[in-house]
Structure 1
Amino acid sequence: MRAAGCVFAEDEAELLLSGAPSADALAAMVERRVLGIPLEHVVGWAEFHGRRVAVDPGVFVPRRRTEFLVDQAIGLGRRSAARTGRPPVVVDLCCGSGAVGAVLAAALGRIELYAADIEPAAVRCARRTLAAAGGEVFAGDLFDALPAGLRGRIDVLVANVPYVPTEEVGLLPPEAREHEPLVALDGGADGLDVLRRVTAAAPAWLAPEGQLLVETSERQAPRAVEAFTRHGLLPRVTGSDELYATVVIGTRPATGEGTP
């Protein structure tokens, strides 16, 4: 595995040894990993925010930096519950494996949880992951996938949108660009196409004082803030140097629809 270019070959080998049910299975797993298939797809799970989350082949692998996004959402969910006196309505948009929703459900306890993704493989994976939390997972393009009854009711809307500029997708590690869905990586010319679509529609779906959280890069954050502001959301930017993570959080004003 080290000869094949696996940077953390020893650690990965331990995971494969502990997860393989037989010598033949171990050999097959090692072969798949040497061929460049992501470790998470080989073992069938990813470590995320202290949990093992199932990740099927062809499904976006949750990144550690996204744990910072989740931490922000947990805090906002708790504040929402304290303010309203009811379980928060939480939506995990572009949910992938359902990792974000699973962690939010575990941390917040009683929540009304919904998730959506455009990739069929991701929807199947997320449905299994979120079943224990009572989460409903829908297939479709962003808000088109959600039940109309959620309009104006969402307290915490987490959208882990793709934000890699199209011309930079080819610079990603082969594991990502060859084995993860392009729709989960490519954010358009400047990486913000999907973010702009989400911010344009979000005010109509958020409850008064509801929050939209989107992960982006530090250099993209100023343009992301412009998109939030343009559609009437009150933005702030926060980040983690340790995780190299940047999150833009937008609040729908307490009155009105949140649009100028």
Structure 2
Amino acid sequence: MSSSQKSLPEQSSPLALGPCAPLPRPTVVARLRAAGCVFAEDEAELLVSAARTPDELAVMVEQRVIGLPLEHVVGWAEFRGLRVAVDPGVFVPRRRTEFLVGRAVDLGRRAAKRTRRPTVAVDLCCGSGAVGAALAADLERVELYAADIEPAAVRCARRNVAATGGAVYQGDLFDPLPAALRGRIDILVANVPYVPSDEVGLLPPEARDHEPLVALDGGADGLDVLRRVTATAPRWLAPGGHLLVETSERQAPRAVEAFTRNGLLARVETSDELYATIVIGTRPDRRQEPSPGTP
């Protein structure tokens, strides 16, 4: 969880309702620290604030101690200032992905100025729908769609995206999207899995044990799903539309090759602050190119 959650209301005294003896805050901190939680004080504050009864607090502390992701324990994650619902078994949105969303928002605003209509945005491999919800929150007018292959993710994403008026579909990549979207998408964000298969076992237990493998494993070199997306994206993007994906710094050159091989103009952007690397591909807009012989 991000540091912004420190602003949650502080409870100066332990909860005192129900049959279970209240867990004092120092005890919660000590148990979390013993379990290896690096930010034990912050996590204890969040758990105490989220629990409604001493019984619930005891259960939540035990869940965290045995390794459940904090976001699954409390049921939400903070993402770009939003409280996003995250159900058990659903991929937890990473703070580094906020960089991807920020660039998507910038490009979406430019698209709206150029087209003078709502931005058509798609959150592919949407997981909890955090990216789509953040896009809807920051774009003035947006026509939002999201899709994921995992049923649990789709159920969760519908909770997060429903308030924005967006639609969420279940299926493999572009397959479940309405055919009418072909050639209309201004912003296509695909937070594809990009961990190489033989490195999944090196991930923290919170990820490898409690998040769906399909949201983590990107194949032999981590780029299998990215290649599938880039091969199909040009047929769905509007002229001048953008595809944005997150990857690792060492994978970026091969990711760019996949973009350019499929006719997208690609560039790499990084954030040192968030340790994030993204590739942005643009479908050329032939309508804006000068005709032969035009100075």
Q: Same fold (TM over 0.5)?
A: yes
Q: Distance in 1 between matches of 2:140 and 2:105?
A: 10
Counterpart selection for 1:40 from 62, 71, 86:
71
State the AA in 2 paired with 1:36: G
Counterpart selection for 1:175 from 187, 197, 206:
206
Match of 1:187 in 2: 218
1:255, distance to aligned residue in structure 2 (A): 2.6
Q: String of CA shifts for 1:143-201, please: whole Å, max 9, x gaps.
A: 00211110000000000000000000000000000000000000000000000000000
Q: Which segments of 5 or more consecutive residues in structure 1 lack a partner in the other structure?
A: none
Q: Distance in 2 between matches of 1:46 and 1:92?
A: 18
- State which drifts further: 44-53 or 168-177: 44-53
Counterpart selection for 1:92 from 116, 123, 133:
123
Identity of aligned residues (%): 80
State the AA in 2 paired with 1:249: I
Asked if 1:54 is matched to 2:89, the reply is: no
State the AA in 1 paired with 2:272: D
Q: String of CA shifts for 1:63-92, please: whole Å, max 9, x gaps.
A: 000000000000000000000000110000
Q: Which segments of 5 or more consecutive residues in structure 2 lack a partner in the other structure?
A: 1-31, 288-295
Matches within 5 A, 1:152-171: 152-171=183-202
Match of 2:270 in 1: 239
1:110, distance to aligned residue in structure 2 (A): 1.4
1:120, distance to aligned residue in structure 2 (A): 0.3
Match of 2:152 in 1: 121
Q: String of CA shifts for 1:207-256, please: whole Å, max 9, x gaps.
A: 00000000000000000000000000000110101101001000001139
Structure exhibiting the larger radius of gyration computed from Cα positions = 2
Match of 1:142 in 2: 173
Secondary structure of the structure 2 residue equivalent to 1:144 = coil
Return structure 1 stretches of 4+ with deviation > 3 angstroms.
Answer: none
Q: Distance in 2 between matches of 1:129 and 1:110?
A: 17
Match of 1:206 in 2: 237
Secondary structure of the structure 1 residue equivalent to 2:250 = coil
Q: What is the number of equivalent residue pairs in this alignment?
A: 256
Counterpart selection for 1:71 from 86, 90, 102:
102
Asked if 1:25 is matched to 2:56, the reply is: yes
Q: Distance in 1 between matches of 2:35 and 2:93?
A: 23
Secondary structure of the structure 1 residue equivalent to 2:218 = coil
State the AA in 2 paired with 1:82: K
Q: Distance in 2 between matches of 1:179 and 1:19?
A: 21
Q: String of CA shifts for 1:97-152, please: whole Å, max 9, x gaps.
A: 00000010010021000000000000000001001100000000000021111000
State the AA in 2 paired with 1:21: R
Q: Distance in 1 between matches of 2:46 and 2:60?
A: 11
What TM-score do the two structures reach when normalised by structure 2?
0.86
Secondary structure of the structure 2 residue equivalent to 1:219 = coil
Q: Distance in 1 between matches of 2:126 and 2:142?
A: 16
The alignment's C-alpha RMSD in Å is 0.7
Secondary structure of the structure 2 residue equivalent to 1:72 = helix
Secondary structure of the structure 2 residue equivalent to 1:161 = coil
Q: Distance in 2 between matches of 1:43 and 1:87?
A: 35
What TM-score do the two structures reach when normalised by structure 1?
0.98
Determine which structure has greater relative contact order: mean sequence separation of CA pairs < 8 Å that are 6+ residues apart, divided by chain length.
Answer: 1
